Each structure stands twice: as structure tokens, then as C-alpha cells.
Structure 1
Amino acid sequence: MDYEKELLELWEKEGRHIARRTGDKKYFITAAFPYPNSPQHIGHARTYTIADVMARFYRLIGYSVLFPMGFHVTGTPIVAMADRIKEGDRELFDIFEKIYGIPREKYEKLTDPKDLVMFFAREIEDGMRRMGFMIDWSRKFYTFDPYFERFIQWQMKKLYDKGYLIKGKHPIPFSPKLNSSVGAHDTKGDVDPEIEEYVGVLFESEFGYLVAATLRPETIYGITNIWVRSDESYLVIELDNKTRIVVGKKAWERLKYQFQNYKEIESLEGRVLIGKRVKVPLLNVYVPVYHGDIVKAEEGTGIVMSVPGHSLFDNYEYSKISCSYPIIIAVDGKLSDASVHIPKDIKNLDEANREFYRKEFISGFHIPLNTTVKEARETTKANLFKSGSAIKIYSIANGPIYSRAGDEVVVKVIDNQWFIDYSNRDWKEQTKQLLNSMKIIPEDFRTRFENTIDWLDRKACTRTRGLGTRFLFDQSQIVESLSDSTIYMAFYLLTPYLNSFRPDQLDESFFDYIFYGKGEPINDAHRAMRDEFLYWYGVDSRHSGVDLIANHLTFYLFNHAAIFDKEYWPKAIVTNGSVLMDGKKMSKSLGNIIPLKRAIEKYGADTIRMAVVANSDIKSDTNFSENISKGIRERLEEIIKLFSEPHIGSDIDDWLRYRFFSKIASIPDMYRNYEIKKVVDTMFYEFYNDLQWAIKRGLRGVPRDIVRYWNIAMFPVIPFTTDMIHRKLFGISVYDEKFELNIAQRNYHPEDLFREIVQDLETLRNSRSFSKVRIGIAKPWKFEVYKLLSDKTSIADIIAKYPEAKELIAKLKNRAYTISFPYQYDEVYEYLRRNLDWLSNYMKIDIQIGEERQKYALPDKPEFIVE
């Protein structure tokens, strides 16, 4: 829409989005800063639009509002992409050309990571500006800025001082190709690798210890044999110059990163192991080694401990050999036998096995150890490790996951790795205090935060390569992307003043003065930074997708709890569902990604804004489609046309004002409760229906007070359309308005009842034909009874006054207790009489008011006698 481009220039010229401190009431709102390795698409629009809607609403009700934005460039994704461009990656080029429409002559030059950052950052910023986001771009920064580096180094020092930054041996998700640990931002699809720990049980053999990885060590008491693949290769590995283990060759390609001192001794063909006997630890018995088709050579260790009584897979395979095996677990007083649970369709074996495991774990009793399965698991695990009969084996639980460089993520165990210790119990309790002090929107997601706080463990916080901050305690390391994005919101408050300093001036005491008031300011700019922090912090509303609860958003809480005083803790977190495209998840492989700027060109920014925030409640996924967008745009164009027509005045104006102002009264609370869909349903769809009725009833132009307040109410959602109309009709911008309602409102209007009569007549006409209607209005005493019921007068008192009301109240049943009916008989009769000619013309039949009042008519349901 042409007026959107014109308004963008006007807003920029007028400085509408620069945050200004106008009073004591402030609203500091932030949304996850984007990662500039591609242009944004429709899916990105929802979180930022919701944040922008709230920023605009609070500006309208008199708050000073700050909505800043920066760019998160930390980590390996941008470096990996620059390398792929350098290598001429055809798959990546196809994405650039076919999805985002980037010319070859542009993207081929982006082989330097910083050039890549600046190109996509400009693309993203341009898209956000064209969406009309009320972002104060004067506070923009990039996470490779030297000033930001000093800020993050200060943060790491504070965590270290509190004992939350530690060094040690730990398993981490690792990319062999990048030679670096990886997190969600470093993987394809932004998947956060989850590490799962297995017990690697050591079974003594003539070749060394066969290692079988298991999550259920307590089932060793029901072992019958060991499974291997006779058609696969195995390796004998010597660990730490002493212990020899046997594992699958393919599995070792993943496992080798978990051991630092090893030597490959020899290779064995799987068939050599078949028929051998191995010693079972703890039990001191021997079991045979068999070939098993269920073994996947590349998973685990390529060797499986067989317990057919308590594994559906083992049972299915073992049944080919024998039907005899031990049962060691009882559930609900009965022996738990896996064979009973084998599904008819073997395709469902995996799902059935998971459910079987779950039941045994929750309700199972371990017969050999005379305790619950839960306790038996921990006891067996402890005994295996204590006797030297087990080693730890790690796996990517949600794998396979691939790094941005294209290789599979594995688990690596390393020494001297720096971690943020999210397992610290005191810190967890402090973070829970923060969580309990704030709003979580939607509230349904609070439990997810609580659970995440509970299970979070140590998190590797450095990488060996990539863009970002050099780690304070080891300059060869880079702070990883989920560790430098937890308190950056405070940095926005400093950016306007950074040019007054050199980066090396930003030492610990520099930030201690700003955030803690310690020491004295260096100069006026330093003092201004402290003043900005005191005014704006903490964050009143933090916006992100629901998928970030499991990492970023919970890290955000931990770090704020650790670093800032309680009065500067966050006030609210708002999480929203995703955007689907025609009901399907957006995916490059499905080819259903629409770049944001292309969508704006096609539909207009206001259309996109409404489509992504108003089709579902905030916690649910929302659907974007061509039909939805076209429908919104057509409705917007029709409203613009209606509002542009001169207002001449008509009898229906009074009713339209009543309907409109009764609706708008509840809009501020809807915004405060993030019920944006309800706002749009009320002011856009329901009000449009009222307009259509008013037009039927002779509306001649929409009253200007309605137009003014509609613009104000809808400005947060569709700022372009509303500001364009406002400037044309009233000569001022909606930015200069306040959402204040000082208009006397009536409680009811007889037109509502008249409208219902018309609708009932239309329904009746659709079911039968007639040429004449007599409308019977209820007797006056029934109106009196309705009024008494509306006033909550007791039924006994009503019947005492109107004995004939007993039958009426019985007919109403439970509705008698909820009636709210303000109309009087004379008022209804007179209103119907005055509008009878219109009704007859509209229905194209003869309509009269019945001379005799009808027996069955109710005040809210007149009786129709048709001929």
C-alpha cells in the first residue's frame, strides 16, 4: 500500500520511534535480537509484532516506551556460511536465489563473515522498519562490537566471583568439522543438542571388555546373552594404557571423542565374537554372544545387553532362539513379561517398548534386590561403577543433529572446559524466587520454566572459534551464543553514550558504577548511563518464541538473578506459538517460506501484522495463508473507504455510538492481558458487522468521534492504516493521541432488540413463505417481571406481586437467574412502531404490530403470526 511507504518516511522525519523520557511511567520492552545470516521471513514476524503492539499500546496510555534492537552475531553459523559461500555451496546458493531472491553478484561477495553480517543486518533492519516496528534504532549494536565484548567480560567476571563460572571435565555437544562445542545457534534448524548419559557395562571376554551401553542397568539381573552383528566390524581399544574394550567400528566414530587417551589395538570381524562367552559383572556368571538383527552398528557401542524378559526388542529377537528367560520385575503384584506386550504390527514395537519401560520404571518392583525399580537402578549403577565394571557413555538424545558446517554433532568429553554452573542449588532457588515474582504470559508455561530450572546442568560457555567476545579467562576461547545473550538488554541503555569512551576504559569499575552505583562517574556520559539504567531497568516485558524456554529464556532468569538487585529483575516474559504456512510448519525443504519483505510488497505491512497476531491466541500456533491475507486486506480497504465518506448524520448514529463505545471500553484491559486476538475480533470484525447493519439502516457516513477512537484502539495492531486515516481526517497523527475515554456511555439501546427481531424474521422466512406478519409484543407485566429479575429480586417477591409470573418463570427455567433486560414496554412498542415502515420495506412484506398482545410472547422474544 503506497501510504505505508509515505508514512515510514514521515515517522522517520518526525522521530516517532526514538524513546523519550516523558514522565515517571516507563515501559521497557525487548524481543530476541535476530541472528543476521538470512533475511527474515513471515515466521519471524509474530514475536516482533506482538512486542510492537504492546509498545504502541503503552505509548498511547501515557508511558515512556523503549523498544530497542540489536544483532546477535556470536558463534559459528555466520563463519560457517561464509565458508560455504567461499566453497561455492550450490544448496546454499539455491536458498539465496529461489527463496530470498538475492542476486548471485551480491551473495558471491559475502565470503568475509563481517561483510555477511552487515549485508543481512541491513536486510533485517529494512524489513523491520517496513513492518512499522516502533524500534529505537539509535541503540543498535552488534555482539562483535569491542564495547559489547567488555560488557560480557564484566558479566563473566561477576559469575566467576559468585562461583557460578567453573572449569572441569564434562561432556559437551561437539562438531568435529568445526573443532568446537556447539549449541542451538550452531546447528541446522537451531536444535539444541541434549546429552544423555548411559551406563557402559563391561563384560569380560578373551578380547577385552565388551561394552554394552544401557539406560536400565538394573535389568542386568535378567540377562540371557549379548547381541552383536556378525556382519559388522569391531575394534579393540586400549584406554589409558591399561583397560581394553571392544566396541563397534561404526559406533567408535562417535564414541572416540569421549576418550582422551586411547589406542586402537586391532580390528575384529563380528563373526569372531559369535558363540564366545562373557562374564557378567555383579552376577559372576557367563552368558553367550549371539548375532542380533536388532543391533544397529552405528548406535550406542554396537553391542547390546539382552534381557528378553524386560525389553520388547530383545524378546522379539530372543524368541528365535528360546522361549525361556528370567523375569525379575513385577508390576502391580504380577510378573512383568515383555512377550505379553509385543504388538501385532512390528512397526509399533518402538512405541510399545517405550510404554513398557515407562510402566516398569514408575510402578515396577525389582525382585532380586527387593526394592522399587527406581531404587534398584541407582543401586545397580553405583555397584557397577564401584566395582570398576562400568564406564560412562554419552549420546545425543535428540540426534542425529547436524552442525552449520554439515557434520553430525557428537559428544566430546574434555578437560579444562569452562561452564556456567546452572546446577548450583542456591542459584536455582534464587532463580525460582525471580520466577515467582514475575508474570509469565501465558501463565500455562510457568511450569515449563520451573521444570527447566530444575533440570538445567552445567552449560559449556566457550567455543574455540566463531565471532563474539574473547573469554576473559582464556583469550583463545570465544563466549558462546547462549551465554552472551542473557543480560544484553541492559547494554541497550549504554549505546547512545559509548562514543565518549575508548573500549579499554570499560573495565570492571566502569560497569560497577552503572549497575551498582559503586565509585564515581568518569564524566557526564558515564553519569548519564547510570541515570538511564535507574530509569529504564528492569525489563517490563521480554518477548520470544516458546521454543526458547528450554535455554535462552531460563538462562536469562538465572543471570538476572545472579547479577542484578531484585528491583531490577525482569517483570514479565511473553512467549508465543509459531506461524504455520497453510497449516504446515515452515521449512526450506518444503519451499513454503515467504520472505518478510516480499510479503509486505504483496499484502502490505498492516495485513501481515494482523495476520500473524490476530488469528489465534498468543500461546497457540497461528496460520498464515493467501486467503487469510486477502480477506484482511479487502476488509481494510473497505473500512478506509467507509471512514473516508463524509458524515452527514442519521438516526442510526446514536445506536452505532452506543455499540462502539460499549466495545471500546474493554479494549485497554484486553491489551494489558495480551488478548490481541480479542481486540481484533471486537474492534475489527464485530464492529465491522455493526457497520454493515448501520448501513442497512441508513447510515450516512461514520461519525467522526467513532473514527477517531477506532484509530486509537487499532493503532497498536495496524499503525499505517490508522495513522493515514487520522492525518487525513483530523490533521494530526495517532502518535499524538492518548487512549483516554471520557465519553458518557448508555447501557442499552432498543435497536439491539429490533435487530434481533429482524434476524428472527429472516430465519423464519428462510424456513417458510408468507406475505404478512403480525408482531405480538409481550404484555407490560412481563416487562415488569423481567426488570425485577434483572434487579435480582427474589422469585418469591416477584410472584407475590405478579401471581401470573409463576408460569412465566417456570418457562424460563435457569435463564430466570441470568436475565439482564433493561427495556420498558412503552419504549419497545414505540421503537418498533417508528421503524415498522423500514422493516416492511426491508422484508418486502406487510408487517404490523398485533392489536392484541400475544399470550406466548416474551419481552425479548415477540410472537410472530404469519399469513
Structure 2
Amino acid sequence: MANEVREGFSEGPYPHKEVESKWQRLWEERRQFATPETPGAQKYYVLEMFPYPSGRLHMGHCRVYSIGDALARFLRMRGKKVLHPMGFDAFGLPAENAAIKHQVHPAEWTERCIADMKQQFRLMGFSLDWEREAITCRPEYYRWNQWFFLRLYEKGLAYKKAAAINWCDTCQTVLANEQVEQGTCWRCHNPVTVKTLDQWWFKITAYADELLSGLDSLEDWPESVKIMQRNWIGRSEGALVRFKLLPADTDLRPGMKWPGSQEELTQLPDVEIFTTRPDTLFGVTFMVFAPEHPAVLPMVEEVEALPPDKRPPETQGILQRVREFVDKVVVEDRFLRTAADREKEGVFIGRYAVNQLNGDIVPIFIANFVLMEYGTGAIMAVPAHDQRDFEFAKKYRIPIKLVIAPRSDDGRPQTISSEKLECAYVEPGVMVNSAQFDGLDSEVAKKEIVKFLEQKGFGKTTVQYKLRDWLISRQRFWGTPIPIVYCDSCGIVPVPESQLPVELPAQAKFTGVGNPLASVPEFVNTTCPQCGRPARRETDTMDTFVDSSWYFLRYCDPHNNDMPFSREKAAQWMPVDQYIGGIEHAILHLLYSRFFVKALRDLGLVDCDEPFARLLAQGMVTNTYIDKATGKIAVDEHGRPKYAKMSKSLGNGVDPMDIIDRYGADTARLFILFAAPAEKELEWSDRGVEGCYRFLNRLWRLVLSNLDACREAKVNVKPSNRAERELNYAIHWAIQRVQIEIEERHHFNTAIAATMELQNALFSAASNPEVSRALLGFGLRNLLLLLFPFSPHITSELWERAGFDGRIDDQAFPTWDPEALVRDEVEIVVQVNGKIRSRIVLPADATEEQARQVALADEKVQQSLEGKSPRKVIYVPKKLVNIVC
């Protein structure tokens, strides 16, 4: 009668709506997920990147938060004191756009979206401590952004300077380089232009070396993320070399030498370049400036201002040509500009420079492949030894001069004609055409030439970074006001701490043009904190990445009204033990957060060097989509469906609330965690969702049909026969696998697979009279515990109905018995000519001869042999016997 339905429970489908609603209410009433105040040595901080409050959770959200929640619940079962908070990254342009569209204040729009999303979080059953909620658009949070700004300003880490910046006319705001995608704004995708404005910056470059070296300590970060950060920081050791800029009216031309004295040459303006290849300095045949370099237009304007009789024919109309080229190039994607396969384009600017090492006169160009962000924004070009320079020189018919030659077998340089080079020679070799350095190994020459530069005052050893300071100014309303006022008498004046927060006004006009903050007189007009005279507030707001660069610290002490957090409470929880979020944040958010923590450490506010000890970058959620050309599901060349990230533009998104309504949150969570490893892409599958739903319904029927076994469950049941030994093995094997897969590998998919195997074993055992009810109940108890981190609602309900002690939330994770995993007997497959014909049971220590005898004596094997004598018997210990006839 093992499968009889007991106590009035039907074998109908699992009533997910009623059960999930019940447990969500109970968890809330009990404050089940409140964080321990003093975690001690068992602390574990689990944090997923907090969302922007768009108003709707999407499947990408559900994936990252399902991963974090499964881990948090598992760790609580493992005895950890878990901090698992949540909040909202609530400032940003979308709310401002909504304000324009719907004529509603961004605060009202945002708070409405937050309320909607919190309800969706609740429906997913995530074990979050909402009592520690941080919402970045509220004054009680952003006042601390302003407080940090003032501290950084005092230390010289926040400053203002004029700079050529990316400007979006549509959004009417400055964009960081990373926010320009192929010449368009990352938000509205309209073209970006360049203009010069006074901007506020954070001096992240002051920490460039530490940001780079600190990556070596992050052993539990994906290597791909660390590589991206190393490349972004871009440390290069080389030499800063001074070329000399000739006057606009010079008669000197390429092919000539500097005719004057070194003293006269010294009087000319410097053009500094950074190079990692000082060994090629004698091969420079031209120079290139970044089009956005601030010296470019002034240099060209000097040529344009020359009398007509002083201007060479090739410089006619040069200012217009240069401006057109600059306007075209500066808005292009930085990565595309420097791509190896990108066509090299440039314009001669009518100016020349002198190479002080050999007196050569070289022309100056601007080109698309040189960026202002690297080095000095100007380069020396050596086409014989740099492929990019080689391609440019060939296109624009610039001379090529070989100064490093391959070494012959006798050690002397090979004779190579520069005119016959088909590509740049970039390998080490022997110095040639390099004056006193001829004959030196090129690697040795690097050091010797730099010594010579330093002796002559022509240059020096230096380290350069691609990393640039963090531009934080934004011409937007919906962000943290920068706590600065401008006084005609006192200049730039920080707002006193006692006047924080500088709050956003409750009333503003949102027209879509300009900065609404600048049009609110009540906000702009103020008094100077120093002299009391009329003054003007700064109307720029902070980049929203400031908000997310320290929110993890606020969670440690969320109700502190005197400080952003206390150092003691931060020390209790920091660093975050496990951070979870998309790899798209590998550079900006993660790098800025690392900078913030290091700066706050130096201000005496935190003790840690890094914010996140471990990082899991989950994969995207993808789905099939409709090919607009055919109106059918897009397929590849083999006819297989193509998958792409879920998005509105492709119309291939799946609303999590629809899945919850039809199948329940437990099904959604289970599928999301089971369908793919956490760090890989997840291909959406309706059939996969239905399969997980069937699995939970099967669990429901299994437990409710065996409540008597649950009541008889014992912790230590000694197996008395082979069937019980097999079930006991399956139970302890599943416990071991789930713990290892979650704790050591974060492989939730294989952990769930282990629970599915256990459920199959329990279903078979439930109808097997040789299995005691006590052992079956023990197995069901453990199955619920193993599934609890993934599907907490159904397991909580079944735990209660089964009458197991206490609440499942308070149970420890089960432990496995090593002795139970030692099998006395093993089941072995028997094949005949490679086809499975039977299975036999042998002692675990059976010899090959014993396995052979039992296999050949098996009745099914005898039938398959049809009286033939075996030619060969292959034995794979504990796995396989293959009989070859």
C-alpha cells in the first residue's frame, strides 16, 4: 500500500499558487531572512548586482537572483551567518525620459517602478533582507555620495578641468568613452559629437598601479574579467621622447636634416610622444596625432594664417580638410578605430617636426588609429617595424627606413631593402642605420638609447596607462547633485557637510532639451557658504556609477544617520564573499568599485583592499527569434534554430510573471538553475520548463503518497538487504554531489541533476517491499533538504505536511556517510559484440576471471551467443564485460 494517497491529499497537480502565496507570507511575518547583527567568523556576504527599477523583472534578472538565492539558502543550511540584501540602482536617464514622456516627476515614476519590482521579487520567493534596502535616488542615500565627493575633493581625488568630451545632442549630456558605441550614444543610439566643457573628474589614475597589481590577489574571479581590466588599465613601460615642432613657415622638408645648432633646436616647442620601442627611434619617418588632440587645430590654424605666398600648394584648404576629418573620426568607436583590420586613414596637417636623435625632418599627420587616451595622444611612426605604420606609409607614399635587421647565421645583420619589404619587421634583431648603436642587439639597444636620451635631455624612462580619470559630470536632472557652489568672490566652494544633502528640487520642467536642473532658479540660486554673497549651485549631477561604487558598504550599516557606514560594521561583513552579475560590467562598475574601496581605505573608512572576494559572471538568457525577412524562426546554415539574448527589439523575451502564474516560482527557479551552468548562456526552452514542472508535481505525489514513511523516518537506518544498500548509497551519493557541486563549483545544474536521480531511486523504492518505510522516509527527508535551496516553496510545504521536526528553513544541510558510499556489490553491463544483452551483480572486489565466469553463465548472454564460443572477453573493472564472438 506504499503508493496509497493518505490523509485526504489528492494526486492532483501541485497547487503552486496557494502554496507559494502561503510561504511568502509566512517568511515575511517571521522576518525569516533578517541578517544576524554580529556574524562572527561564520559570516558570508552573498550579493547580486542590484537592478535598475525599470518596473519589470526580466529573465536575466531572474537568473542572477535565482543563482544568488540558491547559494544564500544553501549557506544558511551550512551554518553560515548570511547577509543577502537588495536595493535599487535608481538614478539614471530612463526615469528622466519617462518624466518627459508622461509629464511626471522622475521620483514618482521611480518609486512606482520600485514598488512593482519588489512585488515581483516577492513572488519569486527570494530570501532577501529588505530591512537593509538601499535605494540610490533617495536623499538618505545620495547625501553620502555628496559626502564622499567632498572627502575626495579634500584629498585632490576630485577635481575640475576643461576637456574635449563626447556630447549627445539628443540626451543633452556628456558621455564617458565607454558609453559611446560605434559613434552613437549607448542610451538613445543617436550620433555623438565632441565639444569642450569644464567637467568634474575622479582621479582614478592615482590608483592605476594598485588596481592592476590587485588583480593578482583575486584568485576567484574569472580570468576573462581580469584580462579585460588589465587591458583597460593598459600599463606600458617605455620612454617619453621629445621631438621638436618646426614653425608653420619653415622651409625644411622631409629628406632634409636640421641645419642649425642643438642650442637653436632646444628653443623650439616640444612634441612629446610615448613609445615602447625606443630601439626604432632612428627609423621614424612621420608622426601622427590623435584627431581630438587639443594641439591639432591650433597648429593647422597657424598654417592657414600664413600669407598666400608662404603657403605650399598642398596646404590650400587644409583647415577645412582637417576639421572634416576630425568631426568624422572623433565620434567613431575607439575599439573599431584601433582594430587591426580597420583601414588606416589620415590627413597631413601641414606641419613638421625634428627627430633630435638624428636631425631628420618628419611630417605630421592626424589618423584614425591614434587615440588621445593612450600615451600623449601623439606617436612616432616607424613603418619598417610597425604593421599599422607600414600600412599607413604605403597608402600615403611615406618613406620606410629599416633600422633593425634579422641576424644572419654568422651573427651579422642580413641585408634587406626597405623598398622590398612586404610587411613590417617586428621581431628582435641587429641595429642598423642607427649611428653609434649599429651592431647592438635590438633588446640591448632599447636600454642604451633611453640612457642616451636621458643624458641629452631628449627623453626619459616612464610608465604609461591607457586608463584615464573618471569623468563623473552629467548634464542630467535625475542624479546626485554635485555639492559645489560658484561664488564670484570665492570661486569654487564645497558645500559644508552640515548642509548635506543638497536635494533635488520637487518641481522641474522636463522638456527633453538641456538640463532641467539648470532651469530651476530656486535650486541654482544660493548663497556662498564662505562669504554669504549670492552664488550659483553646480547643476551637473554625478554619473550613476558613483551610486553603485559603494552600495555594498551601505548594506553593512543601512540605518546609520551619522555616517555612510561605521568602520566596525563594514569590517564585520566586507569584503563581499560572493558577488554575482553580468560580464558586461567587467570594466566600468567593477573597476570603479575597486577604486572606491581603495580610496575609502586610504581615508580610513574601510579596512579591506578589494570589495569582492569571489565573482561569478552569469551567462545571458537567450531564446529563438523570428527572422523578419521570412517571418519564421531564424535558423543557421544547418537548419538549427538560432538563439539571441532576450530583448524587446527581437521580441523574444519571456515574462517571468507569466511563468510564475502558469507553473509557479519554484518551476521557474528550477529550470533557470538546471538548464545550463551558471556562467554559460542559457537557451530558453518551453519544454524544459514543462519538464521541471512535471518533476515538482512528481515530487508532490511522491511525498504525499508516502507520509507514513516520513513519520517513520530515522537518521541512522542500517540497510539489511541489497535493495536497501542501493537506496542508502543513492541517498548519500546525492548529498555528497549536491554539496560539492554548490559549495566548490557553483554547478547548480549538476546538483539538481543529482536530486533528480535520487527522486527516481525513491520512486522505485516506494513500491519495493524489500525497502523499509524508515529508510524510504529518511530518503524523502533528505530529498526535500537537497531541493530546498532551488525550490523553497514546495519543499517547505511538503516538509510541514510530512511532519518532520521544525521548519525546513532552520535545518542543517544533511551530511553523507562515507561508509554508505563504499559499495559491497556493483552492477556491471554485459555486452555481446558491443550490444548490451544483460546486467550482472558482482562483489566490488571481483577478479576478471570471476566476472568472465558469471557473465558467460548468464541466461540472456547464453541466448545471445547461440552456441558460439567467444573469441575474446574484455573486462573493464566495475563497469563492463564485452564478449566478442
Partner of 1:710: 783
Structure 2 distance, partners of 1:768, 1:706, is: 31
Is the 2:232–2:466 Cα contact (8 Å) retained in structure 1?
no
3-state DSSP of counterpart to 2:46: strand
Aligned equivalent of 1:136, options 110, 122, 129: 129
3-state DSSP of counterpart to 1:671: helix
Is the 2:50–2:86 Cα contact (8 Å) retained in structure 1?
yes
- Aligned pair in 2 of structure 1 residues 580, 215: CA closer, same or farther (>3 Å)? farther
Which is richer in helix? 1
Structure 1 distance, partners of 2:112, 2:645, is: 27
- Residue 336 of structure 1 deviates from its aligned partner by 8.7
3-state DSSP of counterpart to 1:250: helix
- Residue 581 of structure 1 deviates from its aligned partner by 1.0
- Residue 662 of structure 1 deviates from its aligned partner by 3.6
Structure 1 distance, partners of 2:174, 2:296, is: 27
Structure 1 distance, partners of 2:119, 2:481, is: 30
- Single out whichever of 215-224 and 595-604 deviates more from structure 2: 215-224
What percent identity do the matched residue pairs reach? 21
3-state DSSP of counterpart to 1:467: coil
Structure 2 distance, partners of 1:195, 1:171, is: 21
3-state DSSP of counterpart to 1:55: helix
Structure 1 distance, partners of 2:330, 2:574, is: 48
Aligned equivalent of 1:27, options 33, 44, 50: 44
Partner of 1:9: 25
Aligned equivalent of 1:515, options 563, 566, 586: 566
Partner of 2:507: none
Structure 1 distance, partners of 2:396, 2:330, is: 34
Partner of 1:491: 554
Is the 1:545–1:576 Cα contact (8 Å) retained in structure 2?
yes
Structure 1: runs of 5 or more not aligned = 87-108, 229-234, 258-272, 343-352, 389-422, 426-450, 499-505, 517-529, 788-807, 813-823, 848-853
- Aligned pair in 2 of structure 1 residues 565, 710: CA closer, same or farther (>3 Å)? same
- Single out whichever of 124-133 and 742-751 deviates more from structure 2: 742-751
Give deviations 1:95-119, integer Å, cap 9, x for gaps: xxxxxxxxxxxxxx36532233223
Partner of 1:690: 761
Q: 1:734-745 counterparts in 2 under 5 A?
A: 734-741=807-814
Aligned equivalent of 2:730, options 634, 648, 659: 659
- Residue 38 of structure 1 deviates from its aligned partner by 5.5
Partner of 1:411: none
3-state DSSP of counterpart to 1:144: coil
Partner of 2:581: 544
Q: Does 1:48 align with 2:65?
A: yes
Q: Does 1:767 align with 2:835?
A: yes
Is the 2:249–2:303 Cα contact (8 Å) retained in structure 1?
no
Q: Does 1:576 align with 2:627?
A: no
- Residue 690 of structure 1 deviates from its aligned partner by 3.4
Is the 1:579–1:585 Cα contact (8 Å) retained in structure 2?
yes
Q: Does 1:631 align with 2:691?
A: yes
Q: Does 1:123 align with 2:116?
A: yes
Aligned equivalent of 2:800, options 727, 737, 745: 727
3-state DSSP of counterpart to 1:119: helix
Is the 1:541–1:570 Cα contact (8 Å) retained in structure 2?
no
- Aligned pair in 2 of structure 1 residues 744, 54: CA closer, same or farther (>3 Å)? closer
Is the 1:493–1:533 Cα contact (8 Å) retained in structure 2?
yes
Aligned equivalent of 2:670, options 600, 610, 629: 610
Structure 2 distance, partners of 1:31, 1:677, is: 16
Is the 2:165–2:174 Cα contact (8 Å) retained in structure 1?
no
- Aligned pair in 2 of structure 1 residues 148, 227: CA closer, same or farther (>3 Å)? closer
- Residue 695 of structure 1 deviates from its aligned partner by 7.0
Give deviations 1:769-805, integer Å, cap 9, x for gaps: 8xxx997979xxxx8xx49xxxxxxxxxxxxxxxxxx
Q: 1:219-238 counterparts in 2 under 5 A?
A: 222=283, 237-238=297-298
- Residue 36 of structure 1 deviates from its aligned partner by 1.9
Is the 1:611–1:629 Cα contact (8 Å) retained in structure 2?
yes
- Residue 585 of structure 1 deviates from its aligned partner by 3.7
Amino acid at match of 1:368: S
Partner of 1:459: 470
3-state DSSP of counterpart to 2:88: coil
Structure 1 distance, partners of 2:700, 2:300, is: 78
Is the 1:311–1:338 Cα contact (8 Å) retained in structure 2?
no
Figure out how many residues of one structure are paired with residues of the other and give that number: 652
Structure 2 distance, partners of 1:858, 1:307, is: 64
Structure 2 distance, partners of 1:743, 1:195, is: 47
Partner of 1:71: 88
Structure 2: runs of 5 or more not aligned = 1-15, 190-228, 254-269, 290-294, 305-317, 332-346, 408-412, 485-493, 495-536, 624-642, 710-719, 866-871
Structure 2 distance, partners of 1:619, 1:587, is: 20
- Aligned pair in 2 of structure 1 residues 640, 173: CA closer, same or farther (>3 Å)? farther
Amino acid at match of 2:402: I
Q: 1:30-429 counterparts in 2 under 5 A?
A: 30-37=47-54, 39-79=56-96, 81-82=97-98, 86=101, 109=102, 111-168=104-161, 174-175=167-168, 177-182=171-176, 188=186, 222=283, 237-238=297-298, 246=319, 248-253=322-327, 279-282=352-355, 309-310=384-385, 325-330=400-405, 359=426, 368=434, 370=437, 375=446
Amino acid at match of 2:176: V
Partner of 1:560: 597
- Aligned pair in 2 of structure 1 residues 178, 646: CA closer, same or farther (>3 Å)? same
Give deviations 1:587-633, integer Å, cap 9, x for gaps: 44443333433443455323332333344444444443334333333
Q: 1:840-851 counterparts in 2 under 5 A?
A: none
- Aligned pair in 2 of structure 1 residues 241, 179: CA closer, same or farther (>3 Å)? farther
Structure 2 distance, partners of 1:575, 1:742, is: 26
Partner of 1:102: none
Q: Does 1:600 align with 2:625?
A: no
Partner of 1:479: 542
Amino acid at match of 1:113: P
Structure 2 distance, partners of 1:121, 1:373, is: 63
